[in-house]
Structure 1
């Protein structure tokens, strides 16, 4: 029996804390171009999606359970970056540079990576969101 045929589609959906849910909403929708998949206003929670990639964001000041293992101080995203494979990296980069140029952590570049016996090429850039999380947008060349 082929296990791949019966396995459901699984994916990782990070849930991040933010300081101000409205600032985060504006940044993720207007600057990144994410769409709101659903939200819980009373919990100050938003589920975003872009090109089939999802991220959940919740205000640290919201009501409900918290999964916090230590003191929260900015930048919240220390030591981690999230890579998003996107369809139109040029359009996203143009929007970010136009609407929030100070958020660009690494400008658009083309990198090559050795993958077995082949060289893979990808365009990428990194943005720092208002809470310090790093997002690396990339696209195969």
Structure 2
């Protein structure tokens, strides 16, 4: 049974069908449910959930122009980042930041991620990340 997360971002999109095609067929999201008359869908991937709704004049707090979502990126945890990355490349979809390993300091440890970034059809920045584990932090080398 579907259980909604405590926090689910809802993205205003310019065309629900274009967004559904992108999220479901290129990124392998699952359609949890949709309300076709409202042009709304709730989608999920590995526990991450996003609501998408075609622009309707109700949720806007200002003028929407592409790219939407300036100033935010959504990190989405995945289990097989290479498979997802290869499918995106196969679809000739533009990669914003190529796949690479990054290690981020968190207190006295480093947390590793293999990650890449793309923008969805409306310009929302999506960062896909696969956990690489943790390692000790050499405090002299990392700030």
TM-score bucket (shorter structure): 0.7 to 0.9
Cα distance in 2 for partners of 1:10, 1:29 equals: 19
Cα distance in 1 for partners of 2:21, 2:100 equals: 26
Residue ranges of structure 1 left out of the alignment (5+ in a row) = 1-8
Note the C-alpha offset of 1:10: 5.2
Task: Indicate yes or no: 2:41 matched with 1:59.
Answer: no
Task: Indicate yes or no: 2:104 matched with 1:119.
Answer: no
Note the C-alpha offset of 1:100: 3.5
| Equivalence for 2:37 | 42
**Structure 1 residue corresponding to 2:69, chosen from 71, 77, 84:** 77
Higher helix residue share: 1
**Structure 2 residue corresponding to 1:18, chosen from 3, 7, 13:** 13
Note the C-alpha offset of 1:39: 0.1
1:45-73 per-residue CA deviation (whole Å, 9 max, x = no partner) reads 01101001100000014xxx712111111
For the structure 1 residues 49 and 91, does the alpha-carbon distance in structure 2 shift closer, same or farther, using more than 3 Å as the test? same
Task: Please say if residues 31 and 100 of structure 1, whose CA atoms lie closer than 8 Å, have aligned partners that are also in contact.
Answer: no
**TM-score normalised by structure 2 residue count:** 0.85
Task: Indicate yes or no: 2:122 matched with 1:131.
Answer: yes
- State the SS of the aligned residue for 1:97: helix
- State the SS of the aligned residue for 1:113: strand
**TM-score normalised by structure 1 residue count:** 0.86
For the structure 1 residues 112 and 118, does the alpha-carbon distance in structure 2 shift closer, same or farther, using more than 3 Å as the test? same
- State the SS of the aligned residue for 1:36: strand
Residue ranges of structure 2 left out of the alignment (5+ in a row) = 133-143
User: Deviating runs (4+, > 6 A) in structure 1?
Assistant: none
How is 1:3-14 mapped onto 2 (pairs within 5 angstroms)? 11-14=6-9
Superposition RMSD in Å: 1.5
